Amino acid sequence: MVTDKARLDNEALDWVIRLGDPRFADWDALTAWLALSPDHARAFDILQLAEAKAVDEVAQGLPPSRAEFVAVNDNPSRRYLPAGIAAGVAVLVGLGLWLGLRGEDARPWQEYRTAAGVHRDLRLADGTRLALNGDTVVRLDPGGRGAALVSGEALFVVRHDAARPFVVTAGGATITDLGTRFDVVSEPGRLAVSVAEGSVAVAQAQAEGEGGLVLTAGQGFERAGTRGRRFDLAPEGVAGWREGRLHYEDAPVSLVLADVARATGLRVELEGQGGDRRFTGTIGLDGPPEAVKERVRLLLSADGGSD
């Protein structure tokens, strides 16, 4: 007897396989399927990460059984997949069909990492550019039209191709470019998307009351836990870390400190500051480390927020 969960996993696996075909063009149907339920997007995201991990393992010479084991145990929030789905992934990897669906290109997804305080620029063959903030992990589709932001923050400046949209998966969401310059943050319990130019379609999972949505320049979306919200922003302030500044509107101090650490590698400690304190303003990151730390302490301590 096929359970609803098994049926959902099989549907997600079917979409992941179809998405690997360079000729795939059914974006509207995929977005609609993802928006039906947070469970849809969650299952899809798990299998996309499993695919990337499995391909990596096979490329390293591991046998299919080991590749299957690593792939289905890669996500700490889900330690197994139903036997039928795991077997499906293993068979695809073992026979090379997974790679075959990607055409002649049999390369694994390429992973890039940055340490805290280290920024890195990447340029893809089609002209799309990525700027990685510190403490970031991203995986790039060898086909050149997709990325998985595993953790951290990245700015995407996409060369738009209506026939082959650029797709980013992050934090249980699928973000499809519609001609775009946008920033994505993915960290435990939080996802944020900010659009500077053009627009993106976001198939959102795990947020109450949010399915699919479209963000245009000057708009953003943030999910903390299971609660999502849309907000307006200044387009010129998107990815301000690239210019050595961080701008906030009523943001938790804990988030500000985490952003400073990611962008600069500096850990700033505040005395007597409650975890619920908020900050509004701009923080400059230029200068010697100790000067930056002192500036952050003064600004966050002087803000009119409340504990």
Mean pLDDT of the 124-149 span: 89
Q: What is the pLDDT of residues 25-83, one digit of tens each?
A: 676 677 677 767 767 777 776 776 665 555 445 444 544 433 333 333 333 333 334 44
The model's pTM is 0.63
If 0-12 CB within 10 Å is exposed, 13-18 middle and 19+ buried, where does residue 292 land?
buried
Q: Which of 82, 65, 117 is nearest to 11 (CA)?
A: 82
Output the DSSP codes for 66-117: HHHHHHHTSSTT-----HHHHHHHHHHHHHTHHHHTTTT--PPPEEEEE-TT
| Distance in angstroms (rounded) separating the CA atoms of residues 86 and 89 | 5
Q: Topology of domain 110-235, per CATH?
A: Jelly Rolls (2.60.120)
Q: How confident is the model at residue 122 (pLDDT cuts 50, 70, 90)?
A: very high
93 phi, psi to nearest 5 deg: -70, -45
Lowest mean pLDDT among 66-80, 197-211, 257-271, 292-306: 66-80
CATH 2.60.120.1440 positions along the chain are 110-235
Nearest of 223, 227, 205 to residue 40 by alpha carbon: 205
For helices 253-264 and 289-302, give the axis angle rounded to 10 degrees.
170
In three-state secondary structure terms, 144 is coil
Nearest to 241 by CA among 224, 223, 262: 262
- Of 5-14, 172-181, 286-295, the range with the lowest mean pLDDT is 5-14
Task: Count CB-CB contacts under 10 A for residue 273.
Answer: 17
